[in-house]
Amino acid sequence: MITNIKFKKTRDYRLSQEKLRNKALSNGVNLIAPETTFLSNDTTFGKNVTIEPYVVIGEKVKIGDNSYIKSFSHIEGTTIEKNVVIGPYARLREGTVLKSNTKIGNFVETKKSKINSKTKINHLSYIGDTTIGKNSNIGAGTITCNYDGLKKYKTKISDNVFVGSNTSLVAPVKLNKNSVVGAGSVITKNVKKNSLGITRSPQTEVKNYKRKKKK
């Protein structure tokens, strides 16, 4: 009996997915490999949307015109405006808003964050409880440290901000307009407008250093 119930649920799910895929295709969505794409009943699409293989779209997702979602991305509770590129391997969680012409690259995770127009987060970053302005660039390995073990805190990044690779932004913190953060920094204080924030230790060099050898 249990096996029959499981089989029925699996069959019903497959049939529902097939209907959702056919509906998306009939509405002009370009599903490159439809059988590998998973949709929700409330997914809405704009015009000229392309979805590559092995994409999972959960509940409460809106996708705008001319957006492109690359393989192995997982999206839920997200609003995507027009001309947005996502993935591959992106994880967009509930409360994410991507304004037009933004780019979310490979192995980027977002949660409860608004990313404004023409901002890029290209790879290997976590953006949570954050607002990012227009025309900003978030370098690889950037982490918004939004949780201290008890409470969540917000990060604010203004327009035209450049964040270098491997940066930790310890919330609550604000990067003001046109500011720059040096790669490898741990930022715990606000960075002023048109300023460089950097906390990198000075590099040292040991001359004629001899490596230890195995005995």
Cα–Cα distance for residue pair 170/38, rounded to 1 Å: 35
pLDDT of 173 reads 98
Q: What is the pLDDT of residue 211?
A: 85
pLDDT at residue number 1: 46
**Full pLDDT tens readout for the chain, 215 residues:** 455 555 567 888 999 999 999 999 999 999 999 999 999 999 999 999 999 999 999 999 999 999 999 999 999 999 999 999 999 999 999 999 999 999 999 999 999 999 999 999 999 999 999 999 999 999 999 999 999 999 999 999 999 999 999 999 999 999 999 999 999 999 999 999 999 999 988 889 999 988 888 77
The model scores a pTM over 0.85: yes
Ranges of each domain in the chain: 10-197
Q: Which residues are catalytic?
A: 123
Q: What is the dihedral sign for C-alpha 117, 99, 122, 69?
A: negative
* Architecture label for domain 10-197: 3 Solenoid (2.160)
Whether residue 88 has a cis bond before it, omega within 30° of 0: yes
C-alpha angle 137-142-147 in degrees, rounded to nearest 5:
125
Query: Residue 108: which H helix or E strand, with range?
Result: strand 103-111
| CA atoms 191, 194, 195, 196: torsion sign | positive
Residue whose C-alpha is closest to residue 63's, from 29, 108, 20, 103: 29
Task: Give me the pLDDT at residue 11, please.
Answer: 85
The per-residue pLDDT for 200 is 87
Q: What's the pLDDT score for residue 3?
A: 56
Which pLDDT score is estimated for 186?
97
pLDDT of amino acid 59: 97
3-state secondary structure of 145: strand
Q: Is 8 exposed, middle or buried (0-12, 13-18, 19+ CB in 10 A)?
A: exposed
